[in-house]
Structure 1
Amino acid sequence: MNRLTKYLTLAAMALPVAATADPTGCDTGEEVLKFSVVTALQGHPKGEAALAYADYINAEMDGRYCVEVYGRSELYPDDETLFQAMLDGDLHFAAPSFAKISGYAAKADIFNLPFLFDGPLHVLEFLQSEEINQIGDQMSDDGFAALGYISNGMRQFSSTVPMRRPGDAEGQTFRVSSSSPVTAAVLDIMGITPMKLKFSEVYDNLANGTVQGQENTFANIQKMGFYEVQAAVTETNHTYIGYPMLTSQRFLDSLDAETRAVFLIGAQLITHERNRFAFELNQISRRSIIEDDGVVLALSPAEMQAWRDAFAPVLDEFKPSVGAEFVDAAIRINAAADPYN
């Protein structure tokens, strides 16, 4: 059985079983730890991983600690208030996107470099490498600890006009998740103006026309209904969305060695297990969009090459600021990856 077949088989077996983490289910005497995510908890790679981590900790630390998981920005949006809450001890775990942490770790912008990776399974090879720890090392300088890395999938563009070429949405305004200069450069090539909006604000602003397009994974696009107010989703797979699972170094340092190991090992086990299913979740989401009369445009090889050629200068421009050796390592890992066998 090749690796792709194994992924799909395991995912099909695992997806119907949903993890649960009831915010009111902690026992008296347990120390409550809060985990905040901006996505849905069930049916989304990040939410599912957060729930699974809570279940693991709640079983291993029963009677001592209880992790509550809050989704859809119920506690915090993925902005500066979330990071400050972790440093203040009001929040214990979060999984903001890589795009949200570039202010703390410049190397996180590697995932905004267009067409650096051939696909989500190639990215997994990078996430499982030693190189990825360089992002966590940069986060530690500001008091954060990266427990692991949750995978989602590749970004697709959507707009109020069908897009087959990079210039088809010229003159429009697209929502962006961060102020990344890499993303701004990509949109500038397309003739598009970026507008930073919180994830929870995207649907309403697409619906009322404040922004006319966005970029996201199929899982995000389907779960939040973005496709309902867009003419089409263009399957570009141009960049990647993933999430470092963060806590504060202060919280980790407060734990004895044995307890700390439970939290660290649990994160590694859960991210390794759940990341195998993110690919399938995005494939299911893609199919659900089409079945709900949404439009997904699959590009021809020639059309795809036009996108790659248009964005090629972005890699050259930002490679030094992201880290030339870091980017070169990702290129080597991508080239050597053989995820389908």
Structure 2
Amino acid sequence: MRTLTLASLASLAAGIMLAGSAFAADPITIKFSHVVAENTPKGQMAEKFKELVEKSSVGDQVEVEIYPNSQLYGDDQVLEAMLLGDVQLAAPALSKFQKYTDQLQVFDLPFLFEDMAAVERFQNSATGKQLLTSLQDKGLVGLGYLHNGMKQLSASEPLRVPEDAAGKKFRIMTSDVLDAQFEAVDAAPLKKPFSEVFILLQTGAIDGQENTYSNIYSQKFYEVQPYITESNHGLLDYMVVSSARFWNGLPDDVRPVVEEALQKAIAYGNAISAQENKEAKQAIVDSGKSEIIELTPEQRQQWVDAMKPVWKEFADEIGQDVIDAAQAANKG
């Protein structure tokens, strides 16, 4: 057997060290999966996050991949995929967390928030911040709230009073609160993936849906829905989330930089959300393809009276204290 010289041993050790360094230098990949178009507030927020990480001090250590339009997963599957390690970042609608916590159902209650300013106040309150931690025992980490805006009702026929919705089929996200909301006006709620909504509307398989102007425009729902009722009856917001295993497993010198980029991206997305909805509404008006119905105060109150009993129905699950804190945010 040939005896290794000191020089050859040194060379071998150096090679091992170089190989180890090359392995350690492999970038951390963050797959960010979402279901909407790139030009929506969420889509732009995701791209801003990628840009900020690339320009940061850990840009050579972290690689962000964005998958919009349900290219990887729909919101109904992404959280399970995240827990399996197939996705590292997502921003599902708050409705999608029902199987992980009952408390976040507060955001689905109809006519709870007067406007987005009230939403901001609640989410920045002690109760709102506590809700971000309500998923920890399920292996998920809430990292922030991302706005889309207030929801409107679109339909194949005009909706002016609750009776107009009776018997019609509306697509909803997977949410018991939203289910109860439409049942309160004798409509038929159907839980369907976001990616299928356009075809369902186009073929007449459903009569309507609820969404923000931003989504109604970017997904072209207005092209197959002749009427949009400006109800502002609910909130469509998202929670940016990661798995606790991945997030807490990031190196101590990497996590703060990535988190700073994420918080800046969320602030960026929220800043443009209101403007996006305003511009989307105007674009729909300009298209002439869908009539926007503005409710009178009396008509809107009829919708409030019909749907508000849903609050009491879910008070025990959500917690009356959480509902009270959200309602108090309307007072500024």
TM-score by length of 1: 0.87
- Residue aligning to 1:66: 63
- Residue aligning to 1:76: 73
Is 2:224 the partner of 1:206?
Answer: no
SS in 1 for 2:314: helix
Selected match of 2:226 from 225, 231, 245: 231
Report deviation, 1:200.
0.6
Is 2:41 the partner of 1:55?
Answer: no
Measure the CA separation in 2 of the matches of 1:73 and 1:273.
Answer: 22
Measure the CA separation in 2 of the matches of 1:31 and 1:185.
Answer: 43
> How do 1:215-230 residues align onto structure 2 when only pairs under 5 Å count?
215-230=210-225
CA contact (8 A) 1:124 1:151 kept: no
Report deviation, 1:177.
1.1
User: Which stretch has the larger CA shift, 204-213 or 262-271?
Assistant: 262-271
Report deviation, 1:166.
1.1
> How do 1:140-155 residues align onto structure 2 when only pairs under 5 Å count?
140-155=136-151
Q: Deviations over 1:1-56 (max 9, x none)?
A: xxxxxxxxxxxxxxxxxxxxxxxxxxx943322101100012x0111111111111
- Residue aligning to 2:124: 128
Is 2:228 the partner of 1:246?
Answer: no
SS in 2 for 1:236: strand
Measure the CA separation in 1 of the matches of 2:54 and 2:125.
Answer: 29
SS in 2 for 1:331: helix
Report deviation, 1:260.
1.4
Report deviation, 1:131.
1.7
Report deviation, 1:216.
0.6
- Residue aligning to 2:33: 36
- Residue aligning to 1:165: 161
Question: Which amino acid in 2 is paired with 1:107?
Answer: Q
- Residue aligning to 1:107: 103
Measure the CA separation in 2 of the matches of 1:292 and 1:322.
Answer: 41
Q: Deviations over 1:187-217 (max 9, x none)?
A: 1121111111110100001111111111111
Measure the CA separation in 2 of the matches of 1:45 and 1:158.
Answer: 20
CA contact (8 A) 1:87 1:248 kept: yes
> How do 1:16-31 residues align onto structure 2 when only pairs under 5 Å count?
29-31=26-28
CA contact (8 A) 2:185 2:307 kept: no
Report deviation, 1:226.
0.9
CA contact (8 A) 2:149 2:277 kept: yes
SS in 2 for 1:245: strand
Report deviation, 1:116.
0.7
- Residue aligning to 2:309: 313
Measure the CA separation in 2 of the matches of 1:259 and 1:29.
Answer: 14
Measure the CA separation in 2 of the matches of 1:332 and 1:290.
Answer: 34
Measure the CA separation in 2 of the matches of 1:182 and 1:32.
Answer: 36
Q: Flag the structure with larger Rg.
A: 2
Selected match of 2:133 from 133, 137, 146: 137
- Residue aligning to 2:179: 184
Segments ≥4 residues shifted beyond 3 Å: none
Gaps of 5+ in 1: 1-27, 337-341
- Residue aligning to 1:23: none
Measure the CA separation in 1 of the matches of 2:227 and 2:126.
Answer: 38
Question: Which amino acid in 1 is paired with 2:159?
Answer: M
SS in 1 for 2:163: coil
Question: Which amino acid in 2 is paired with 1:334?
Answer: N
- Residue aligning to 1:194: 189
SS in 2 for 1:84: helix
Selected match of 1:46 from 42, 45, 49: 42
Identity of aligned residues (%): 35
Number of aligned pairs? 306
Question: Which amino acid in 2 is paired with 1:318?
Answer: F
Measure the CA separation in 1 of the matches of 2:26 and 2:306.
Answer: 58
